[in-house]
Copies of this chain bind each other. A is one copy, B any other.
Amino acid sequence: MRSENAAKVRQLALFRELHDSTFRDLIETSFLQRFPRGVNLIRENEPADFLHVVVEGLVEMYAATDMRETTLEIIAPVGIFILAAVLNDQVYLQSARTLEPSTILMIPAEKVRHAMETDQAFMRAIVMELAASYRRTIKDLKSQKMRSGAERLANWLLRMQRERGRNGVVEIPVEKRVLASHLGMTPENLSRAFLTLRSHGVKVHGSRVEIERLDALLVFAKPDPLIDDPENLFRQTSS
């Protein structure tokens, strides 16, 4: 692995406090692999063999039944996924596919469990990571159960604006149908939700969203710190 990438991974909260030897052990037997866009990295219901780290690119976590499919999370660099399944040696609850050409670090599950047992700092980091993941998911669940589609979109835009906005302009970094699925609605309904938001100070041109009247959007969205978390945009464990 190139030292530039190793440094990025090392910076993750999950790995930052590890002993050097633990980190080396983890990295040594891992694979760093580059995937094109649209590749299935894992499939739900399969045993969890690797902990995955998104080093570059963008990954969609989703679940599917016969007829329906829904996006549960979108993971940006540098973020990890399926830690929980790895720890319990269980099957994945979610599938993952690349939304962009991506570089993924795959750490054998066995190694992760072993490192957890030998390095208490690592176990502590895992506790914090899992606690954060749990809270993030609870927030998603609250959003899903208590808000309308347009409200979920409005608050997503506000979080986007705060984290990555420039002069009230937000760039949607994924296909709209993916955003729709993430927000729990159909693509058609996302279009209509944007129409609804037009009367609350929002204009859309393609993937470029302009928030013209922030105050008006805030009134409509009624953001709630117990639901809207900066971390709920894209999962990034780092910084």
Contacts and interface: CB of A to CB of B under 8 A. Distances in A.
A45 B130 contact: no
A204 interface: no
A68 B117 CA distance: 44
Interface residues of A, number: 45
Contact of A142 (B63, B66, B134, B142): B63
Interface stretch (A25-33, A49-57, A118-126, A189-197): A118-126
Nearest to A184: B145
> How often does this chain occur in the complex, in copies?
2
Contact of A84 (B66, B91, B120, B134): B134
A226 B44 contact: yes
Contact of A127 (B90, B91, B116): B116
A65 interface: yes
A139 B84 CA distance: 13
A216 interface: no
Nearest to A68: B146
A210 interface: no
A88 B13 CA distance: 14
A144 interface: yes
A133 interface: yes
A65 B146 contact: yes
B94 A138 contact: yes
Nearest to A144: B144
A45 B222 contact: no
Given A123-B120, A138-B94, A141-B141, A131 B63 contact: no
Interface of A: 44-45, 63, 65-66, 68, 70, 72, 83-85, 87-88, 90-91, 93-94, 116-117, 120, 123-124, 126-128, 130-135, 137-142, 144-146, 184, 222, 224-226
8 contacts: A66-B222, A72-B142, A84-B130, A85-B135, A88-B135, A93-B138, A130-B134, A134-B137
Query: Closest 4 CB pairs between A and B?
Result: A130-B130, A84-B131, A70-B145, A137-B137
Given A70-B142, A72-B141, A90-B135, 13 more contacts: A68-B146, A72-B142, A84-B131, A93-B142, A116-B127, A120-B120, A120-B123, A123-B127, A130-B134, A140-B141, A141-B141, A144-B145, A145-B184
